[in-house]
Amino acid sequence: MDERQDELVRIDATGTAHPVGRAASRAMRMRQGGLRVLPSPPDTLVMRASDQDEHRHFWMSGEITKPGVLWDLIGVAGQGNWGGELVVSDSHAERGIFFERGMVIGAHSTADRERIGEVLYQYGVLTEDQVGTVASAVTRDVRFGEAAVALGYLSREKLFEIIGKQTEEILFAAMLVSEGSFYFTERFDESRLHYRLNLSVASLLMEGVRRMDEIELFRGRIPSGLYVPDRVDGASVTEGHEHHEVFECVDGTLSLDDIGRVLGMGPFETTRSVFQLLQAGLITVHPPRPTGVQAIVTLFNQAISLILKKVDMVGGGRDVREQLASFATASGVYDALFRDAGPAQDGTLDAHKIAGTVEQLVGPENSESMLSQWLYEYASFAMFIAEPLLRSRVLPASDGSPASTESAAVSKAVAELLAPLAPDA
C-alpha cells in the first residue's frame, strides 16, 4: 500500500468515518473521544478535541508542495509576536519549532542528522566513540547533552552554543521541505522545551534564504560532504585569507565533512569555504572511493533522491517509480536486495538492512563490489528514464554561457555522485 492509500479515510453516506490504511487507523485511535468539526474548505475536514485545553488553540494547517512555502508563515510569526509551535512533517522526519513573542526559542527533530549527538559530532565537539559512550549514559531522566557534560566531554557553555546551531539547522531544514504538511498551535507543553534560546526570526530567515540560493550552486560542483578536496600544485593561501584555515586542512584525504569536524565549522560553512577555494582555482574536488556498505548506500541515496525530486517537480514521479519497480522485478536481483530496506518514497534505501541482505546474497568478500555495481546500474537506469521528462525544462545561465536543460544539469550531478560506484572506478 502506497503512502496516500495508507493515510486514506472513507466517509460513508451516514457521515461515519472508516480508516482504510494503517496510518489512518493509528491516527484515529490516538484521537479517541469527542471531536468538534471546525470550519474548513469543502475538500478538507478539520476537527478538534472537544475537551482540549482551551488555552492551546489550533491556528492553521496545510500542505507543502514546494521548498520555501513556510518562509512567509515563519516571517509572520516573527513580525506578529506569535507564541506556539510550528510542526513540519515530510516522508523523512517531523520537525517542531517553538516560538515565544515572535522569537524562536527551541526546536526538535526526528531526523538523525539533526539530533544533538549527531550535531555535536558534525561540529567536531564529540568523536564517534564519544557519541556512543554518551548514548549509553542517557536515561529517561538524563538527556544526551547533560550526559555529555557529566562525562566531561564538553562544557555547559559549549553545549548551549551547539544547541543553538542545532535549532538553526532544524529551522533551515524545515524551510527547505518541498513536499509534506504543517500545522501551528498556540502554546505548547513546556516540558518538551529542554533548553530556552532567543533567536531572531528575521536573522534566521535571511540566513535561510542565503543557504537556499547557495546550496544549489554548491551542489553543482560538490554533490556531498563525502567529496575530498585536494590542493592544486603550487597553490597557496596567505594567513589572513578568509579561507586560510580550510585550505590548510586540505590534504587530499580529508572529506568536506572531516574538515568541518576538525575546524568545528559544520557542514554548510565548510562547503561554502571549499566552494570558494574551488572557484578560485586553488583546489580540486574529487569523489571518494566508498568503503563499506554505509558509504556506498549514502552515495546511491543522494543520487536517486535527486533524480526523483526533480521528476516529481515535473509531474513524472509516479511513472518513473513504476518503471523502476518493473526493472527491479525483471532483473531478479533487486527485489531480493531491497527486501525490507526500501526503497522509500524518495527512492532511498536503509543501509543497515542492505548490509545484511547483500552479505547473504554474495558473501562478505564480494558484498561491496557487487553492491556498488547493482546500485550504479539501478540509479543509471533511473536517470535514463528521467532524462526525457527533464529535457524540456531549460535552465537559464547567469554567467552569459548557453542555457542548458534540467536533464543535463541533473545528469551531470548524478554522474559525479555515482562515479565512485562505477564498475571500472
**Would you put residue 238 in left (φ > 0), alpha (ψ -120 to 50) or beta?**
beta
Number of domains within the chain: 3
- E strands within 147-237? 180-186, 199-200, 228-231
- Residue 53 in this model has a pLDDT that exceeds 70: no
Mean pLDDT of the chain: 86
> Do residues 402 and 396 lie in contact, with contact meaning Cβ atoms separated by under 8 Å?
no
The C-alpha atoms of residue 123 and residue 115 are separated, in whole angstroms, by: 12
Determine the distance from the C-alpha atom of residue 228 to the mean position of all C-alpha atoms in its chain, rounded to a whole number.
Answer: 21
φ, ψ at 395 (rounded to 5°): -100, 115
Q: Quote the pLDDT of residue 279.
A: 93
What is residue 103's predicted lDDT score, i.e. its pLDDT? 93
Instruction: Let me know whether 88 and 189 are in one domain.
Output: yes
Residue where a domain stops, chosen among 269, 286, 303: 286
pLDDT at 399 over 60: no
pLDDT band at 411 (very low <50, low <70, confident <90, very high): confident
With cut-offs at 50, 70 and 90, classify the pLDDT of residue 395: very low
Euclidean distance between CA atoms 194 and 215, whole angstroms: 30
Q: Write out the three cell numbers for 101.
A: 513573542
Q: Is residue 104 part of a domain?
A: yes
Could you give the percent of the chain with pLDDT greater than 70? 93
Q: Are residues 205 and 278 in the same domain?
A: no
> Is the separation of the CB atoms in 260 and 269 below 8 Å?
yes
Instruction: Look at residue 28 and tell me if it is in a domain.
Output: no
pLDDT in tens, 127-186: 989 999 999 999 988 999 999 999 999 999 999 999 999 999 999 989 888 888 898 988
CA torsion through residues 223, 422, 255, 251, sign: negative
Domain boundary among 182, 213, 244: 213
Distance CA 373, CA 333 (A): 12
Phi, psi dihedral angles at 404 (to 5 degrees): -125, 165
Examine the pLDDT at 57 and tell me if it is beyond 80. no
pLDDT grade for 383, boundaries at 50, 70 and 90? very high
Please check whether residue 22 lies inside any domain of the structure.
Answer: no
Question: Does residue 297 share a domain with residue 281?
Answer: no
Whether residue 104 contacts residue 171, with contact meaning beta carbons closer than 8 Å, is answered with yes
More confident residue, 277 or 315: 277
C-alpha 236/C-alpha 282 separation (Å) is 7
pLDDT digits (tens, 9 = 90+) for 170-202: 999 898 888 888 989 887 878 788 888 999 999
- Residues 316-324 have a mean pLDDT of 92
Q: Please indicate, yes or no, whether residues 64 and 191 belong to a single structural domain of this protein.
A: yes
Q: Is the dihedral of CA 392, 397, 403, 405 positive or negative?
A: negative
Cis preceding-peptide flag for 42 (omega within 30 of 0)? no
Residues 198 and 71 in one domain: yes
In a domain, 46, yes or no: no
Within a domain: 48: no
Asked if 275 and 329 sit in the same domain, the reply is: no
Res. 212 pLDDT band, cuts 50 70 90: confident
Nearest-angstrom CA–CA distance, 266 and 261: 7
Task: Report pLDDT digits (tens) over 107-123.
Answer: 999 998 899 999 999 99
| Cβ-proximal residues to 404 (8 Å cutoff; 6+ apart), any chain | 394, 395, 397
Q: How far is CA 374 from CA 316, 333, 369, in A?
A: 24, 8, 9
Q: Is residue 29 part of a domain?
A: no
Together in a domain, 190 and 282: no
Q: Give the residue with greater pLDDT, 82 vs 212.
A: 82
pLDDT for 321 equals 93
pLDDT band of 68, cuts 50, 70, 90 = confident
Calpha distance 85→61 (Å, rounded): 12
Percent of the chain with pLDDT over 90: 42
Indicate whether 228 belongs to any domain.
yes
Q: Which domain holds residue 281?
A: 222-286
250 and 390 in a single domain? The answer is no
The span from the CA of 51 to the CA of 71, in Å, is 32
Look-up of cell digits 534505501: 349
What pLDDT sits at residue 405? 63
Whether 174 and 86 map to the same domain: the answer is yes
CA dihedral (366, 342, 349, 122) in degrees, to 10, reads -130
Which stretch, 26-35, 91-100, 216-225, has highest mean pLDDT?
A: 91-100
Which pLDDT score, from 0 to 100, does residue 152 have? 96
Q: What is the pLDDT of residue 192?
A: 80
Examine residue 384 and state whether it is found in any structural domain, yes or no.
yes
In terms of domains, do 171 and 264 share one? no
Are 115 and 255 contained in the same domain?
A: no
Would residue 399 be called left, alpha or beta, if left means φ above 0 and alpha means ψ between -120 and 50 degrees? alpha
Q: Which pLDDT does position 60 carry in this prediction? A: 82
Angstrom distance (rounded) from CA 3 to CA 17: 19
Q: Where a domain ends, among 186, 213, 240?
A: 213
Integer CA distances (angstroms), 421 to 60, 297, 407, in order: 45, 10, 21
| Residues whose CB falls within 8 Å of the CB of residue 161, separated by 6 or more in sequence, listed in order | none
CB distance 96 to 85 below 8 Å: yes
pLDDT value of residue 403: 40
Res. 271: pLDDT tops 70: yes
Run of H or E including 100? strand 94-100
Same domain for 251 and 376? no
**Phi, psi for residue 53 in degrees, rounded to 5:** -55, 120
